[in-house]
Amino acid sequence: MFQTLTSRFAGAFGTLRSRGKISEKDIELAIEEIREALLEADVALAVVESFTENVQNHALEILPTLQAGSNQAEAIYSVVNKELTEILGGGARRIRFAKKPPTVIMLAGLQGAGKTTLAAKLAKFYKDQGETPILIASDLQRPNAVNQLQVVGQSVGVPVFAPEPGNGIGNPVKVARDGVQFATSKLHSMVIIDTAGRLGVDAALMQEAIAIRDAVTPDEILFVVDAMIGQDAVKTAQAFQDGVGFDGVVITKLDGDARGGSALSIAALTGRPIMFASVGEKISDFDIFYPERMASRILGMGDVATLAEQAKKAFDGDTAKKLEDKFSSGEDFTLDDFLEQLEAMSKMGSMGKLLSMLPGAGQMKKQIENFDESEITRTKAIVQSMTPLERRDLKVLNGSRRARIATGSGRKVSDVNALVDKFTAAQKMMKQMRNGGSIPGMPPMPPMPSGMRGPGGAAKAPQKKKSKSGNPAKRALENGSIS
């Protein structure tokens, strides 16, 4: 999630990091890149402008206090991080529980945002925490929405209050009111009300939402929004805020590859925090939204918790083994394999950073510092912006596809071309190697982006005498790129 936005930021900061002493001009250039990235990520223009202005001001403010050296970029970076976290909602807020149960939660949002599925996820989430939720079927509009709620409610073992068949029949306000009464009498500790999807511009339906609100006085009204929404997020969120009003935001479908910039817009413009994230079709694909984590993620830093999880994956050697098998079985080395390699590498890189903080890691430190992660991130971004077909078959990459990939990854078309050329050459080389008989246990070397040579992207990383790395990508890096 937020993948491409992440790589854009990483790109901007990679450039900053490579500078000895950051100048005002450097900051301006980085800000320009951030602006483009945010727009490409569907962040509303108004938010982009005020965000970049704030960052620029703060960055320029602290610039004179910074010493030359690698910490400068980190300092600027933390300005962006802080600004982003603040917009996304500061510290994560939890649901406000009613003093006198039941706690009433009302869901509102556009059609197709994912409210019904979310209602069940929320119920399950709180049921697991010891609450006794009940779902109320107040979407009497969409055909078989009541039905759907009953099915998902049953699947999480939560009762559903559904006195009306729906499909246009029944009064949603009355259902909500009766439902809360029923829940109170049956001592349920929580009520979650599913409502019909409605457009911000639909005055009659907005009035209906207001009537439901007034009938049950919810403790929390949650605005449910699809991560794929574009610039309309602003108008719609505003309309819901001015209409029924809401206390928090839930983003759904974050398991897609949408950049989710709308989340930033909504949080910034309404001042309402994002509280939950829905990340898949399974009921368990749901979590509290962590603004700090998310901001770090957006900025390409990854957070320690995630890092620890990923470290395991990076070190299990599976990737290298898989690649070796593939190579010896005579299959082509594809960009997907390459991506996996890069991923393993960047995980090791971040891991290295973590390790370097441990006492006694001084020896490793130098190598770690020479590892320019941002270049990996940038290369990764290019590959990630390709479709599965493109990754399998580079031949389909015509001009317009290359342009799309460049836009998507925030790189230039020439960067895309360079990667494709190098990759094609490497693929060919590997074929030749294979035909000439490969060295057993020696996996192929993927091509390395040219900038991956330590700080500044100019000097070569100190060449090591002998590779110790079991990871072919890492070893290729140690050996210098084959470009």
CA 79 to chain centre: 20
Q: Strands (DSSP E) along 44-183, which ranges? A: 103-109, 133-138, 160-161
Report the residue number, 253 or 474, with the smaller CB distance to another protein.
253
Q: Does 230 bind another protein (CB under 8 A)?
A: yes
Identified binder of another protein from the candidate list 143, 271, 317, 462, rule CB under 8 A: 143
- Binding part of the chain for another protein, among 22-30, 112-120, 304-312, 442-450 by CB under 8 A, reads 112-120
Q: Does 156 bind another protein (CB under 8 A)?
A: no
Q: Which residue is nearest to ligand GDP (CB)?
A: 111
Q: Interface residues for another protein in 421-440 (CB under 8 A)?
A: none
The 263-292 site mask, x for binding another protein (CB under 8 A), equals ------------------x-----------
- Minimum separation from the CB atom of position 283 to another protein (A): 11
Report the residue number, 199 or 397, with the smaller CB distance to ligand GDP.
199
- Per-position DSSP letters for 251-279, written without gaps between them: EE-TTSS---HHHHHHHHHH-PPEEEEE-
- Binding part of the chain for another protein, among 8-16, 144-152, 370-378, 412-420 by CB under 8 A, reads 144-152
The three-state DSSP-derived secondary structure of 398-444 is CHHHHHHHHHHHCCCHHHHHHHHHHHHHHHHHHHHHHHCCCCCCCCC
Identified binder of ligand GDP from the candidate list 93, 142, 365, 434, rule CB under 6 A: 142
Identified binder of ligand GDP from the candidate list 66, 199, 283, 355, rule CB under 6 A: 199
- Per-position DSSP letters for 306-360, written without gaps between them: HHHHHHHHHHT-HHHHHHHHHHHTTPPP-HHHHHHHHHHHHHHHHHHHHHHTSTT
- Minimum separation from the CB atom of position 143 to ligand GDP (A): 8
Report the residue number, 226 or 372, with the smaller CB distance to ligand GDP.
226
Report the residue number, 111 or 370, with the smaller CB distance to ligand GDP.
111
* Cβ burial, residue 314 (10 Å; 0-12/13-18/19+): buried
Closest residue by Cα to residue 460 from 471, 448, 469: 448
Which tokens hold the place of 259? 């950049």
Q: Interface residues for another protein in 28-47 (CB under 8 A)?
A: 36, 39-42, 44-46
Query: CB under 8 Å to 405, separation ≥6 — which residues?
Result: 382, 385, 386, 390, 397, 416
The 192-221 site mask, x for binding another protein (CB under 8 A), equals -------xxxx-------------------
Query: CB under 8 Å to 53, separation ≥6 — which residues?
Result: none
Residue with tokens 């989340």: 263
- Minimum separation from the CB atom of position 118 to ligand GDP (A): 14
**CA–CA distance, 380 with 416 (Å, rounded to integer):** 11
Q: Interface residues for another protein in 355-414 (CB under 8 A)?
A: 387-389, 400, 403-404, 407-408
Q: Does 355 bind ligand GDP (CB under 6 A)?
A: no
What spatial distance separates the first Cα and last Cα of the chain, rounded to whole Å?
A: 31
Query: CB under 8 Å to 320, separation ≥6 — which residues?
Result: 344, 443, 470, 471, 472
Residues that bind another protein (CB under 8 A): 36, 39-42, 44-46, 110-114, 141-145, 147-148, 150-152, 155, 167, 199-202, 226, 228-236, 239, 253, 255-259, 261-262, 281, 387-389, 400, 403-404, 407-408
Q: Which residues contact ligand GDP (rule: CB under 6 A)?
A: 111-112, 142, 197, 199
